[in-house]
Amino acid sequence: MNAIISAEELGAELAGERPPVLLDIRWEMGAVSRRPDYDAGHIPGAVYLDLETELTGPKGPGPGCRHPLPEPGAFGAAMRRAGVRTDRGVVVYDGGQGWGAARVWWLLSWTGHPSVRVLDGGLPAWTARGGAVTTEVPDVPEGDFVPAPGARPLLVDADEAAALARRGVLLDARAGERYRGEVEPLDPVAGHIPGAHSAPTMENVTADGLFRPAGELAERFAAFGAVPGAEVGVYCGSGVSGAHEVLALAVAGVPAVLYAGSWSDWTADPARPVATGPQPG
């Protein structure tokens, strides 16, 4: 199954006999809860989930992780409250950036849900095609999804990320200036993991937030050596935009593993090496 769904396809599925479960994951780095935006208008039937408070754990593999993975029990409870079932497909969307939706796509896939997709272009793509929005909060029946982590591979610590950079292809999904070490607005050290390639996730989408065609994405990633059969890993600042890059790689037909702690975990230990400049180093 494709990892993304168009607004047109979603409209057809919502009108069918067995519509997918809809999750609204509007999120923005550093912003307060986007619940007011959901209350002002969302796709009919969608349930809002807050990434910071409901989909992030209390601690991570390192002391500096800014978005630790949620505990499976807490994550499962949140998904069941939102009506997520194992036998029904799930479609996740956000405000258009795609990062929040991709994070939940990755979490659900990692914990074993068999059918989860991201709405390509998010809510803006839905409204651009004339899709309806509502302020009505749905009363959804309790779901039955029980997470079983491990359905997708995961880099759990910095040592694993460093090893993958040496033997495979490690992509840095952050903005280029952060990779080069010119600026670091969130973490204690600027730069990148030695051996990693700069592949900003925002270059995977068009100006209107839609993913570039699969062929274009495959060509872009192939330039880094990220091709089917290669060992490919991704990291970002805290594991959110990196999930978006893993999603783009999935669209291109390239399986990839996420370093969940990402740069916030790597830089938590000042003894770890840091590369700067435009080259992997």
Residues annotated as part of the active site = 236
Q: How many CB atoms lie within 10 A of CB 159?
A: 10
Could you tell me if 233 and 169 are in contact, meaning their C-beta atoms sit under 8 angstroms apart?
yes
DSSP state, residue 237: S
φ, ψ for residue 264 (rounded to 5)? -65, -30
State CA 110 to chain mean position distance. 11
DSSP state, residue 204: G
CB-count exposure of residue 126 (10 Å: 0-12, 13-18, 19+): buried
Cα dihedral 50, 52, 56, 62 in deg (nearest 10): 170
Could you tell me if 258 and 234 are in contact, meaning their C-beta atoms sit under 8 angstroms apart?
yes
